[in-house]
Structure 1
Amino acid sequence: MRWVLTLLLSLGAGFAGAALWDAAGFGGKATRDYLLANPEVLPQAMEELQRRDQQARIAPLRAELETPFPGAVMGNPDGKVTLVEFTDYACTYCRQSLGDVADLIAANPDLRVVVREFPILRPESVDAARMALAAAQQGKYAAFHDAMFRLGPPSADAIEAAAKEAGLDLAKANAAIASGAFDTHLRTNAALANELGISGTPGWIIGDQALNGAVGKQRIGAAIAEARES
């Protein structure tokens, strides 16, 4: 398996020329015969390559990733295991994942969920994300988050209704939004997503793993257990 992984790493680095292939010792009948006889090693090696790539991307960003906008945390704010979610209030799959996150929080008392607003689907998503951060500033993030997904998709009326349901001081929230107080954080979230290769929502980071889409609570739960053990 090690030499197969080395082969794939070499190809990934651009060593596709026949001369380099042979120089690296990957050519010849023995190699071809082994791969034909054991084709299952290639998917296994690709999976390991992907895992290593994820680790390399996440490791230098971990501290920043797991440091939330103040108040934009759900679950146990002092939890030992951190799940990072990139989300957009216009995202149907994010809405579908809301119950999964609630179930995971209930099942894992040590779970801290850092939510990163990643409004990419429509202009109103940006407005909803800004109001969410205003809610976080007022200590009412979770209430707004749940109400916005329930009342969405985001529109001016839905955002205001969610803010009122969460009990926000709207004058204070709108003043903070107008000041541009949250835009730097939103740009940071977009930059982090780009560095991690997250191009859609929901996107999840847990331990050394990056998961994309509504993968379900079983898959996320398994990643939480692995992160806890590492």
Structure 2
Amino acid sequence: MFRTFLMTSALCLATALPASATDIDAMTDGERDAFRAEVRAYLLDNPEVLMEAIAVLEERRAQDAAQADVALLENYGEEIFNDGFSYVGGNPDGDITVVEFLDYQCSFCKRAFPAVEELIAGDGNIRFIVKEFPILGDASVLGSRYAIAVKNLYGDDAYKIIHDELMLLRGGLTPQTLVRLSEDQNFDHDDIRAEMDNEDITRIIDANRDLAARLQIQGTPSFIMGVTFVRGFLELNQMRQVIASERQNQG
């Protein structure tokens, strides 16, 4: 990367020189060596040029990434926002949709959970979608299959209760943990256990994994807030800043 910065800076310097003086192909070996020496000397005397070049390069990369993300939303928007099987909470008619890809064994997902809850409750105008994305082993898959099975059998309100309990869980996620959760909510655990083997649940998880791969999402938590992708953890104030920016851009 540093080599790229040097080349960028050299090109910036070259544009200030006559075209004949910077036609590399037309230079002799001695002229090329002299030109390189001049560029090196200039950068050593003016190191701030490197920082300017870095800033320009980073801005261009950010713009390119944002444009690529907008294209992903255009291509896969229906699967992201209206797949027909993911939990939808918050305000169903909210002006901003927040999508979270999460794993119940992910420590950063658990850390983000209270911030997400406060964001949605405090705002009142956010549509919130959960994408079950178990990527951290068998216990993660177990948790997602259980949560989806509860949703299938008992509905969205029951799913949200279990989702919250799994996000707040400390320690290992085991079959015994799920039995206790079922008992606490007076759910028939035998029915849930049978539903967990439903191939439809396998298809849902596989669909979320496939979608994540196409969206270049590799870790959890990952968010889509309006048209902004956030592939990683955010603090509450950062979430609010993204939402405010999204609304400003909408207006």
Task: Work out whether the TM-score is over 0.5.
Answer: yes
Q: How does 1:5-154 map to 2 (within 5 A)?
A: 29-30=14-15, 37-38=48-49, 39-57=51-69, 58-59=72-73, 60-70=75-85, 72-137=87-152, 138-139=154-155, 140-152=158-170, 153-154=172-173
Distance 2:92 2:184 in 1: 23
Residue 84 of structure 1: how far off its partner (Å):
0.7
TM-score of the pair, normalised by structure 1: 0.78
Distance 1:27 1:207 in 2: 37
Partner of 2:235: 216
Residue 221 of structure 1: how far off its partner (Å):
1.4
Higher normalized helix content (fraction of residues): 2
Flag the 1:103–1:52 CA change in 2: closer, same or farther, 3 A.
Answer: same
What secondary structure does 1:99 align onto?
Answer: helix
What secondary structure does 2:223 align onto?
Answer: strand
Question: Is the contact between residue 148 and residue 162 of structure 1 (CA under 8 Å) also seen in structure 2?
Answer: no
The total of aligned residue pairs comes to 210
Distance 2:244 2:144 in 1: 30
Residue 212 of structure 1: how far off its partner (Å):
2.6
Residue 71 of structure 1: how far off its partner (Å):
5.8
The one-letter amino acid paired with 1:46 is: E
The one-letter amino acid paired with 1:134 is: A
Distance 2:105 2:99 in 1: 18
Residue 180 of structure 1: how far off its partner (Å):
1.5
For 1:85-139, what per-residue CA distance to the aligned partner results, in whole angstroms no more than 9, with x for missing partners? 1111111111111100111011211111111111111211101101111222222
The one-letter amino acid paired with 2:64 is: R
Q: How does 1:194-209 map to 2 (within 5 A)?
A: 194-209=213-228
For 1:31-90, what per-residue CA distance to the aligned partner results, in whole angstroms no more than 9, with x for missing partners? 777996542353344244234324423322222111255361231223221111111111
TM-score of the pair, normalised by structure 2: 0.72
**RMSD, aligned CA:** 2.9
Distance 2:119 2:238 in 1: 11
The structure number with the bigger radius of gyration is 2
Distance 1:44 1:165 in 2: 56
* Alignment counterpart, residue 191 of structure 1, candidates 210, 215, 222: 210
The one-letter amino acid paired with 1:89 is: Y
Distance 1:164 1:73 in 2: 25
What secondary structure does 1:181 align onto?
Answer: helix
Distance 2:58 2:241 in 1: 20
Instruction: Specify every segment of 5 or more residues in structure 1 that has no aligned partner in the other structure, as ranges.
Output: 1-7, 12-17
